[in-house]
Structure 1
């Protein structure tokens, strides 16, 4: 019986050891899988940005729209990161969009203006294409919520090859023109060829610049409204204080009445011919009426 118990204990210990090893391997496997997933997640942030294909050249651009905890702090961090990566900021429009604005009176003299606003910043930065993935990873670490992220890699290999061929053609044309006799047509063709060559050189410079530096448009904003409390004067009480003054208004009314009388008198003086004509007409009218009444009375007496 004792021997059987010892054997069972020994078997149990072996099974427990095997189970522990398997469990440890499983945990280790899960841990390795988790780390691998994290690496994949981190790499996927900039997989397109860091893409490189043999004998291919890409112009890379990116557009990021996300929400951050503090727009101002995120802006400063991104601008600093861009400079450290050898890039530069071409546009930054930091603004606060006011949602509502109300003023509350706290005393006869004081009041508080309460503004609810949302801060956002629209940025455009240019960074060496080799560091584009690093910048996008840094920007991604600042997010609270990512609305969208677009990364474009435009294959311009054929365009570059075509530009080289065009350069050779323009050079050959210039050599052919140089062999012509000097005429007005030669001067015109030489001028047109030089203008075409300048345009081609400018296009080449633009492509080279876009290949060297990637353009990244970044829109960052805060998910919640901020509130600003600003101490101001109680304008309502001030308006009521000076809205109406009886004695001042009465004095002005008296003065205005005096000026009105003066204006009436001056107006009457200015139309004195009309007044005289009206007075004479009224005088003759009254006199005519008096003569008529006198004739009627004389006629009545004669009849009697």
Structure 2
């Protein structure tokens, strides 16, 4: 009773060129006119037309990818996030970070210093916006650019996949009805469980397709073209280190105390090994005594 899962693998990438109205010049700018009720969007840019196009009896899952340079990454990030929310979308990922290229400290007085950081900021974002307003979002994002590195918009035709999902749903339902007519036994339970699992997977796939049809995913990468400098006032740590680097009186006192504790440790160590010392002393005593007796006998023999 195993069936193939629904596959959304129809990749019809519609990447169209961008041309300006000026003779002999290419541009990435595009103009969008929004009606009074914000429902209909007329776009003059051919690339944006992919984001807003509608074809009778066709359904598309639309995605976009934008890579550009902006004047201020933080300000652009806040503006894009605000625009996404105003259009009824939401941010699923935002990774804003600054790469420090160099970091130097300059002492300006005995107490103060200046930390100078040279850095470059970037942000990788992923947002989801209602598909009907994808063109508006791309226009708003485009307004923030200094230089557009790349932009692509994809429209995947999932019409046949949706139709196939409907047929699969009917088949699974019919299979369930057939299973219910079988005699109750172990095999029937197994078949029923497999059919229910397939039905759950089919419903999950349908929910994913519905969500992707309703909301378009936009991946955005923005960075600053030039290195920025941050000046941070800090404490002059070198003067502090020099101030407390060495104190003779404190060091002498500490050395005296450490010496006293060393003597204590030596005495305690000798007490711990007193049996060994006692045995050693006894051996030495008997050795000397024996040596003394031998010497006396030697003297007597000579006499």
TM-score category of the 2 structures, normalised to the smaller one: 0.7 to 0.9
User: Against the structure 1 CA distance between its residues 257 and 178, is the aligned structure 2 distance closer, same or farther, given a 3 Å change threshold?
Assistant: closer
- Which residue number in structure 2 is paired with residue 234 of structure 1? 236
- How many residues get paired? 269
Separation in 1, partners of 2:301, 2:176 = 130
- Which residue number in structure 1 is paired with residue 217 of structure 2? 215
- In terms of mean alpha carbon deviation, does 125-134 or 172-181 score higher? 172-181
- Which residue number in structure 2 is paired with residue 250 of structure 1? 252
1:278 to 280, 290, 293: 280
- Which residue number in structure 2 is paired with residue 117 of structure 1? 119
Instruction: Note the C-alpha offset of 1:290.
Output: 5.2
Instruction: Name the larger-Rg structure.
Output: 1
TM-score w.r.t. length of structure 2: 0.78
Counterparts in 2 of 1:49-60, with a 5 A limit?
A: 49-60=51-62
**Do the aligned residues in 1 keep the contact of 2:114 with 2:232 (CA within 8 Å)?**
yes
- Which residue number in structure 2 is paired with residue 17 of structure 1? none
Instruction: Note the C-alpha offset of 1:53.
Output: 2.9
User: Against the structure 1 CA distance between its residues 272 and 93, is the aligned structure 2 distance closer, same or farther, given a 3 Å change threshold?
Assistant: closer
Separation in 2, partners of 1:67, 1:288 = 99
Separation in 1, partners of 2:50, 2:147 = 21
**Do the aligned residues in 1 keep the contact of 2:47 with 2:153 (CA within 8 Å)?**
no
- Which residue number in structure 2 is paired with residue 68 of structure 1? 70
How large is the RMSD of aligned CA atoms in angstroms?
A: 2.8
Q: Give the secondary structure class of the aligned counterpart of 1:48.
A: helix
Separation in 2, partners of 1:271, 1:194 = 79
CA-to-aligned-CA distance 1:143-194 (integer Å, 9 cap, x gap)? 1111221211111111111111111211222232333344443343333222
CA-to-aligned-CA distance 1:209-247 (integer Å, 9 cap, x gap)? 111111001111111122111111122222222222211
- Which residue number in structure 2 is paired with residue 133 of structure 1? 135
Separation in 2, partners of 1:120, 1:208 = 33
List gaps (5 residues or longer) in structure 1. 1-32
User: Against the structure 1 CA distance between its residues 258 and 179, is the aligned structure 2 distance closer, same or farther, given a 3 Å change threshold?
Assistant: closer
- Which residue number in structure 2 is paired with residue 173 of structure 1? 175
User: Against the structure 1 CA distance between its residues 207 and 276, is the aligned structure 2 distance closer, same or farther, given a 3 Å change threshold?
Assistant: closer
Q: Which contiguous aligned blocks of 4+ residues in structure 1 show a shift greater than 4 angstroms?
A: 35-41, 283-300
- Which residue number in structure 2 is paired with residue 3 of structure 1? none
CA-to-aligned-CA distance 1:237-260 (integer Å, 9 cap, x gap)? 222222222111111212222222
Counterparts in 2 of 1:40-55, with a 5 A limit?
A: 42=30, 43-55=45-57
The structure with the greater share of residues assigned to helix is 1
2:153 to 124, 128, 151: 151
Instruction: Note the C-alpha offset of 1:283.
Output: 4.2
Instruction: Note the C-alpha offset of 1:129.
Output: 1.4
Q: Give the secondary structure class of the aligned counterpart of 2:145.
A: coil
Separation in 1, partners of 2:273, 2:88 = 88
User: Against the structure 1 CA distance between its residues 73 and 45, is the aligned structure 2 distance closer, same or farther, given a 3 Å change threshold?
Assistant: farther
- Which residue number in structure 1 is paired with residue 191 of structure 2? 189
Instruction: Note the C-alpha offset of 1:195.
Output: 2.3
